[in-house]
Amino acid sequence: MYEIPKNLEVLSLDSFSLIGKRIEDEMSEDTLVFFDVHWTLLRGDSPAMHPQMRIRYEKVFQRIFSSHSPVEVEMAVCLALRSGKQSLMEKDISKILLQLSKGKLLACSSYMTGKIGPYSLEADVFGSLQGLGVDFSSSFPDVSSLVLDQFPLFHENFPMYYRGILLTNHQSKGRVMVDFLKKVGFFAKRVILVDNNPKKIGNVKEVLKEFDSNLQFEGIFYTKALSEAVWEVSEEEFTSFWEGFAKEALLYSGK
């Protein structure tokens, strides 16, 4: 689930302080840094959502959602994340980000766009980050929102940029990044991606190379969620937690 793909050169770090120092050394005005959101910037408060528990009980998770569509699975994950309190992965993250004064910083998440019932998903992500002192909207101050409609519909919506956050809506992170850069007319010479999933890093590296072979790319695999001690849950607790959101997702999907 979080294995590093073969032939992918990636820097693995479990401290945001080290990540900040690494980025600061590499930053310039034509550098663009993307930070994944969940389990890179933010964490959910339930142990049943934690990546280590998702890995341990992956077969259980697949069984619970075996009759759900991909949209319904993503709805359940979104509902679970917004149901509880979210906090920063490390308490100093907002301070570290403020020190990165050169270049541009953006969040980039695979999160869905649009609404689940009355809830605006993009506004939820922005509000969660801003409430904890993380706001990337000044990187492109003239663009508050932008729909990227060159992609297939998912959840009846497209990927979009919203106030410093690029939401891929279950599409390729790399291809959404490229489409966004084209639309805003910013052609970085260097792109850095900090993500807790090395497969996403590999996808972005491959797509950016196709887009511009001269563009420099660095992927940083943030391993905090995989290396930290976690509050473990039993299989029964894990099942109960996710079955609840599986049912809630079906209600919102009209089933």
Convert the pLDDT of each residue in 193-208 to its tens digit.
999 999 999 999 999 9
Average pLDDT of the residues of the chain: 93
Q: What is the DSSP letter of 4?
A: P
Render pLDDT for 229-247 as a digit per residue (tens, 0 to 9).
888 999 999 999 999 999 9
Percent of the chain at pLDDT > 70 equals: 97
Quickly list H helices, the chain. 16-26, 51-56, 58-64, 70-83, 93-98, 121-130, 173-184, 198-211, 224-227, 235-252
Q: Which residues pair with 105 in a beta bridge?
A: 33
The rounded distance, in Å, linking the Cα atoms of 62 and 25 is 42
Provide the residue-wise pLDDT of the chain in tens; the chain has 255 residues.
666 666 777 889 999 999 999 999 888 889 999 999 999 999 998 999 999 999 999 999 999 999 999 999 999 999 999 888 899 999 999 999 998 878 899 999 999 999 998 989 999 999 999 999 999 999 999 999 999 999 999 999 999 999 999 999 999 999 999 999 999 999 889 999 999 999 999 999 999 999 999 999 999 999 999 998 888 999 999 999 999 999 999 998 876
pLDDT score recorded for residue 101 = 76
Report the candidate in 38, 144, 27, 167 with the shortest Cα–Cα distance to residue 96.
27
